[in-house]
Structure 1
Amino acid sequence: MNKFWEYKTLSRMSDTEWESLCDGCGKCCLNKLIDDETEELHFTNVSCHLLHTKSCQCRKYDQRFKLVNDCVKVSLDDIQQFHWLPSSCAYRRLAEGKPIPEWHPLITGSKSAMHKGGFSVRGKIISEKTIDPDKLGDYIAIWPAE
């Protein structure tokens, strides 16, 4: 197995390698809140309406930026903003000089270990279409950052 992430920097990865770093957990598609006083980031258990709650994949990946105004592309151009990604995210971990998690699909060969280990959003979220957006603060969750 070619473990490119162990010897290539993020900036030297091909587009295919870059895309494969995404484990498909769905955590980046959760609505987040920032505390105005402390600037602390809080994840919620409320997902973007495009996220498929079982597969943890975007239903309209190729069109997401057109359909969701605040959808953020994870790219090297925004590496200083990786702090908003969950601590388990391969992009963030590699940028911080840490290894990717042992349950990552690049290591295990499938997403099964991630889902079975509870490292994805599967079974933990609701769609933003089902809640009052003014009540988002009622849905703050601890687990996404773990």
Structure 2
Amino acid sequence: MTDETPPFWETTPLAQMTRAQWESLCDGCGRCCLHKLREDETDEVLFTDVACRLLDTTTCLCTDYAHRHRRVQDCISLTAEMLADIDWLPPTCGYVLVRDGEPLPWWHPLVSGTHETVHEAGISVSGRAISERRAGLLEDHIIDWPGEAPKDAFCRTRPRGR
């Protein structure tokens, strides 16, 4: 029997997390950095494979995170208060999972200890997104996968063969 302390994301309310804890909930998938459209008649979110110009589409990291708001006017700083009203975060998002009381999956960096598992599990946009600088019309890039979870995405342990 072990006397392990549960991880902070299981015991600390989102609104009470330190900045470092909050930031570490981001899995670095890049899905939230893809442009989305909203259908006028239905209010449905339409996902695209078009990434913010600051997103490195290979590593899925922001190339200027510290200054992103100055460089991209509509870049959003996610807060715990906003989570109740946001409907465009992917179902695999660490913030969404913790908000909903769900466990973080095996590939989340806080569980695996490395950011590589986000790519390995097929969660990230790496190799599947195009920069807004080259994309053209967003309407030509509507896709489904950013709003869906890949097979085995919510497993607590790494599936065999990965």
Match of 1:5 in 2: 9
Structure 1 distance, partners of 2:43, 2:93, is: 21
Q: Deviation above 3 Å: which 4+ runs of structure 1?
A: none
Q: How does 1:37-116 map to 2 (within 5 A)?
A: 37-116=41-120
Deviation at 1:2, TM superposition (A): 5.9
**Equivalent runs, 1:10-29 vs 2, <5 Å:** 10-29=14-33
Whether contact under 8 Å (2:15, 2:81) holds in the other structure is no
Q: Which has the larger radius of gyration?
A: 2
Contact 1:83 1:92 in 2 (8 A): no
SS of the equivalent of 1:76 reads coil
- Number of corresponding residues: 144
User: How much has 1:88 moved relative to structure 2?
Assistant: 0.6
Structure with more helix by fraction: 1
Deviations 1:72-112 (A, max 9, x none): 11112322233221111011121122222221000000011
Q: What secondary structure sits across from 1:83 in the alignment? A: coil
1:137 matched to which residue of 2? 139
TM-score (norm 1): 0.93
Confirm or deny: 8 A CA contact 1:115 1:122 kept in the other structure.
yes
Query: How high is the sequence identity, in percent, across the aligned residues?
Result: 44
Preserved CA contact (<8 Å) 1:82 1:92: no
TM-score normalised over the length of structure 2: 0.84
Report the alpha carbon displacement of residue 115 of structure 1 after superposing the two structures with TM.
Answer: 0.4
| Per-residue Cα deviation, 1:24-55 (whole angstroms, up to 9, x for no partner) | 11111000000101101111000000001111
1 CA distance for matches of 2:86 and 2:8? 20
Equivalent-residue separation in structure 1 for 2:133 and 2:145 (angstroms): 21
